[in-house]
Structure 1
Amino acid sequence: MPLRILHTSDWHLGRSLFGRSRLHEFEAFLDWLAGTVESRGIELLVVAGDIFDTTTPGNATQKLYYQFLNRIALTPGSPCRHVVITSGNHDSPTFLDAPKELLRAFDVHVLGATTGDPADEVRLLRDRQGSPEAIVCAVPFLRDRDIRTVEPGESLEDKIRKLSDGVSLHYAEVARIAAERRRSLGADIPVIAMGHLFTAGCVTVEEDGVREIYAGALSIVCSTAFPPVFDYVALGHMHVPQRVDKTEHMRYCGSPIPMGFGEAKQQKLVLQVDFEGREPTVTEIEVPCFQPLERLAGSLDELSAAIAALRSAGSNAWLEIDYRGDEAPATVQEAMEQAVAGSLLEIRRIRNNRPLQQALRHSAANETLQQLDPEAVFNRCLEAYGTDESLRPALVESYREVLRSIREEDVMAEKEGKS
Structure 2
Amino acid sequence: MKILHTSDWHLGRTLYGKKRYAEFEAILSWLISTIQQHQVEVLLIAGDIFDTSTPSHRSQELYYRFLYDVSATCCRHILVIAGNHDSPSFLNAPKTLLRALNVHVVGAITESPEDEVITLYDELQTPQAIICAVPYLRDKDIRRVEPGETLEDKHTKLVEGVKSHYQQVCAIAEQKRDDFKSSGYTHVPIVAMGHLFTMGGKTIEGDGVRELYVGSLAHVGKDVFPSSIDYLALGHLHIPQCVSDIQHMRYCGSPIPMGYGEAAQQKKVIIVEFKNRTALIDELDIPCFQKLERISGSLGEILARIEQLKSDKSSAWLEVEYIGNEIVSDLRDKCNEALKGSAMEIRRIKDKRVIDAVMRTMQEEETLDDLNVNEVFERCLEANNISVEESAELISAYNEIVKSLHEEDINAE
TM above 0.5, one fold?
yes
Quick one: which amino acid aligns to residue 100 of structure 1? Answer: K
More deviation, 352-361/44-53: 352-361
Q: Secondary structure at the match of 1:314?
A: coil
Partner Cα separation in structure 2 for residue 36 and residue 406 of structure 1: 45
Deviations 1:223-261 (A, max 9, x none): 011111110000000100001111110000000100000
The alpha-carbon deviation at position 38 of structure 1 amounts to 0.7
CA gap 1:55/1:28 in 2 versus in 1, 3 angstroms: same
Partner Cα separation in structure 1 for residue 146 and residue 374 of structure 2: 31
The alpha-carbon deviation at position 342 of structure 1 amounts to 2.6
Equivalent position of 1:120 in the other structure: 115
The alpha-carbon deviation at position 276 of structure 1 amounts to 2.0
Q: What is the correspondence of 1:95-114 to structure 2 with a 5 Å cutoff?
A: 95-114=90-109
Tell me, which stretches of 5 or more residues in structure 2 are unaligned? 378-398
Equivalent position of 1:20 in the other structure: 18
In 1, are the aligned partners of 2:47 and 2:236 still within 8 Å (CA)? yes
Q: Following superposition, which runs of at least 4 residues in structure 1 exceed 6 angstroms of deviation?
A: 404-408
Deviations 1:283-329 (A, max 9, x none): 00000000000000001100000000000110000000110124446
Q: Secondary structure at the match of 1:21?
A: coil
Equivalent position of 2:87 in the other structure: 92
Equivalent position of 1:320 in the other structure: 319
Equivalent position of 1:181 in the other structure: 176
The alpha-carbon deviation at position 183 of structure 1 amounts to 1.0
Equivalent position of 2:27 in the other structure: 29
Quick one: which amino acid aligns to residue 148 of structure 2? Answer: G
Give the paired residue count. 383
CA gap 1:154/1:361 in 2 versus in 1, 3 angstroms: closer
The alpha-carbon deviation at position 205 of structure 1 amounts to 1.1
The alpha-carbon deviation at position 332 of structure 1 amounts to 1.1
TM-score in terms of structure 2 length: 0.88
Q: Secondary structure at the match of 1:46?
A: strand
Equivalent position of 1:138 in the other structure: 133
Tell me, which stretches of 5 or more residues in structure 1 are unaligned? 363-371, 379-395
Deviations 1:145-173 (A, max 9, x none): 11010000100000000000000000011
TM-score in terms of structure 1 length: 0.87
**In the alignment, does 2:222 pair up with 1:223?**
yes
Equivalent position of 1:233 in the other structure: 232
RMSD: 2.1
Partner Cα separation in structure 1 for residue 280 and residue 114 of structure 2: 27
In 2, are the aligned partners of 1:163 and 1:220 still within 8 Å (CA)? no
Q: Secondary structure at the match of 1:356?
A: helix
CA gap 1:8/1:359 in 2 versus in 1, 3 angstroms: closer
Identity among equivalent pairs (%): 49
Equivalent position of 2:395 in the other structure: none
Equivalent position of 1:5 in the other structure: 3
Equivalent position of 1:157 in the other structure: 152
CA gap 1:274/1:22 in 2 versus in 1, 3 angstroms: same
**In the alignment, does 2:412 pair up with 1:417?**
no
In 2, are the aligned partners of 1:212 and 1:218 still within 8 Å (CA)? no
In 2, are the aligned partners of 1:145 and 1:418 still within 8 Å (CA)? no
The alpha-carbon deviation at position 133 of structure 1 amounts to 1.0
Equivalent position of 1:195 in the other structure: 194
Quick one: which amino acid aligns to residue 67 of structure 1? Answer: R
Deviations 1:60-85 (A, max 9, x none): 11111011101111x2xx21000000
Deviations 1:179-215 (A, max 9, x none): 0111122233000000000000111111111110112
Equivalent position of 2:78 in the other structure: 83
Equivalent position of 2:385 in the other structure: none
In 1, are the aligned partners of 2:155 and 2:218 still within 8 Å (CA)? no
In 1, are the aligned partners of 2:238 and 2:254 still within 8 Å (CA)? yes
Quick one: which amino acid aligns to residue 416 of structure 1? Answer: H
CA gap 1:406/1:315 in 2 versus in 1, 3 angstroms: farther
Deviations 1:63-116 (A, max 9, x none): 11011101111x2xx210000000100001011000001111221000111112
Partner Cα separation in structure 1 for residue 328 and residue 91 of structure 2: 44
Partner Cα separation in structure 2 for residue 215 and residue 144 of structure 1: 9
The alpha-carbon deviation at position 32 of structure 1 amounts to 0.3
In 2, are the aligned partners of 1:92 and 1:112 still within 8 Å (CA)? yes
Equivalent position of 2:389 in the other structure: none
Quick one: which amino acid aligns to residue 77 of structure 2? Answer: H
CA gap 1:125/1:361 in 2 versus in 1, 3 angstroms: closer
Equivalent position of 2:57 in the other structure: 59
